[in-house]
Amino acid sequence: MNTNHITMKELPTSERPYERCLKYGAGVLTDAELIAVLLKNGTQKETALQLANRMLLSVPKQTDALAGLMAFKEPDFMRLSGIGPVKTATMLCAMELAKRLSMAKYRPKLTYTDPQTIADYYMEMMRYYDREHFLVLLLDSKNALIREVEISIGTVNASFASPREVMMEALQYKAVHIILIHNHPSGNPVPSPADIEVTKKIQAAGKLLDIFLLDHIIIGEQDYVSMRASHLLS
At residue 8 the predicted structure's pLDDT band, cuts being 50, 70 and 90, is low
Domain extent, residue 39, equals: 3-102
- Identify the CA nearest to 157 among candidates 135, 183, 180, 136: 183
List own/partner pairs for 17-21 with CB under 8 A and 24 or more apart: 17/48, 17/49
Tell me what the mean pLDDT of segment 17-42 comes to. 91
pLDDT of residue 141: 96
pLDDT, one tens digit per residue, over 79-88 is: 999 999 999 9
Number of structural domains, the chain? 2
pLDDT greater than 50 at residue 3: no
SS3 for the chain is CCHHHCCHHHCCHHHCHHHHHHHHCHHHCCHHHHHHHHHCCCCCCCCHHHHHHHHHHCCCCCCCHHHHHHCCCHHHHHCCCCCCHHHHHHHHHHHHHHHHHHHHHHHHHCCCCCHHHHHHHHHHHHCCCCCCEEEEEEECCCCCEEEEEEEEECCCCCCCCCHHHHHHHHHHCCCCEEEEEEECCCCCCCCCHHHHHHHHHHHHHHHHCCCEEEEEEEECCCCEEECCCCCCCC
Last residue of a domain, one of 69, 102, 135: 102
Buried b (16+ CB within 10 A) or exposed e, 122-152: bbbbbbbbeebbbbbbbbeeeeeebeebebb
User: What pLDDT, in 10s, does the model give residues 77-119?
Assistant: 999 999 999 999 999 999 999 989 988 999 999 999 999 999 9
Q: Does residue 195 belong to any structural domain of this protein?
A: yes
Residue 8 lies in a domain: yes
Say what the pLDDT of residue 11 is.
Answer: 58
93/132 same-domain check: no
Query: How far is it, in rounded angstroms, from Cα 6 to Cα 16?
Result: 12
Question: In the listed set 76, 102, 128, which residue is the last one of a domain according to the structure?
Answer: 102
pLDDT of residue 2: 45
Residue 196 included in any domain:
yes
CB 234 within 8 Å of CB 203 = yes
Residues 76 and 148 grouped into a single domain: no
Asked if 126 and 89 sit in the same domain, the reply is: no
Span 4-25, mean pLDDT?
70
Is the same domain home to 162 and 137? yes
